[in-house]
């Protein structure tokens, strides 16, 4: 079993050139970081200029990676002279996670196929009509229902983030401590803590742990 993450940029046709370049460079950097930590080829690639797809060989880690990609994009802005201020988010992703079999392997992930690819791709297409930003599709209906309800609540929460909130969540997802983030951003630890609470980190952490537990039980270790 694998997870396939499919995504596209929301309203990318309206991005200024400088923002689009920043978004694409950020995504490619995140792909490289993930690939270095993966023993197997993830194959994340951007196509059509505003979409990407790749494989996560441990499905239980798919949500964490999806949120890392999301926050990497949500934290971007073009106000370079005010890097630590909270701005309205100007870029976002729509993402679907499909978990299933990997039936047809090609050198390029974009030419591969299987249950996980079909679940992920078809769900992403459905989401464009639903206005959703994050969904999961597996062969088990109860799991789909549980997490898609939780993901809907997460969409509502993350829609309220500023770039500053997203930036703090980005570093928390990467395993940074509050003091590390404060040093990285050159702000006080209390400011980090305030942004962490405002962004709903405690609830996000519970969601990540629940996802990891359930998906590990049902789909990891060759199941």
Mean pLDDT, contiguous 10-residue spans, the chain (223 residues) = 96 92 96 92 90 95 98 91 78 97 62 81 93 96 97 97 96 97 96 96 98 93 46
Rounded alpha-carbon distances, angstroms, from residue 7 to 91, 123, 128: 13, 10, 11
User: For position 22, what pLDDT does the model report?
Assistant: 95
Closest Cα to residue 124, out of 220, 218, 7? 7
Where are the domains positioned within the chain?
2-219
Closest Cα to residue 166, out of 134, 198, 203, 202? 198
Closest Cα to residue 5, out of 123, 103, 105, 106? 123
User: For position 81, what pLDDT does the model report?
Assistant: 64
User: For position 112, what pLDDT does the model report?
Assistant: 60
pTM: 0.92
**Highest CATH level, class, for 2-219:** alpha beta
CA 71 to CA 199: how far, in whole Å?
Answer: 11
Q: How many CB atoms lie within 10 A of CB 191?
A: 16
Q: Are 144 and 126 in contact (CB under 8 A)?
A: no
Q: Are 149 and 134 in contact (CB under 8 A)?
A: no
Bridge pairing between strands 51-56 and 2-9: antiparallel
User: For position 205, what pLDDT does the model report?
Assistant: 98
CA 47 to CA 104: how far, in whole Å?
Answer: 20
């Amino acid at each position: 079993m694998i997870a396939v993450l499919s995504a596209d940029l929301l309203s990318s046709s309206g991005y200024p050139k400088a923002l689009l370049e920043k978004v694409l460079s950020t995504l490619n950097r995140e792909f490289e970081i993930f690939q270095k930590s993966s023993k197997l080829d993830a194959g994340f690639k951007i196509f059509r200029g505003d979409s990407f797809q790749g494989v996560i060989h441990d499905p239980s880690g798919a949500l964490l990676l999806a949120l890392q990609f999301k926050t990497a994009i949500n934290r971007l802005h073009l106000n370079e002279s005010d890097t630590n201020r909270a701005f309205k988010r100007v870029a976002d992703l729509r993402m679907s996670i499909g978990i299933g079999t990997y039936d047809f392997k090609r050198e390029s992930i974009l030419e591969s196929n299987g249950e996980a690819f079909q679940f992920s791709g078809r769900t992403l297409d459905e989401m464009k009509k639903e206005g959703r930003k994050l969904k999961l599709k597996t062969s088990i209906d109860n799991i789909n229902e549980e997490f898609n309800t939780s993901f809907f609540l997460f969409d509502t929460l993350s829609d309220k983030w500023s770039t500053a909130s997203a930036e703090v969540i980005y570093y928390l997802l990467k395993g940074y401590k509050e003091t590390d983030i404060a040093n990285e951003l050159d702000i006080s630890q209390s400011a980090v803590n305030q942004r962490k609470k405002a962004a709903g980190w405690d609830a996000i952490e519970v969601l990540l742990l629940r996802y990891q537990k359930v998906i590990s039980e049902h789909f990891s270790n060759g199941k």
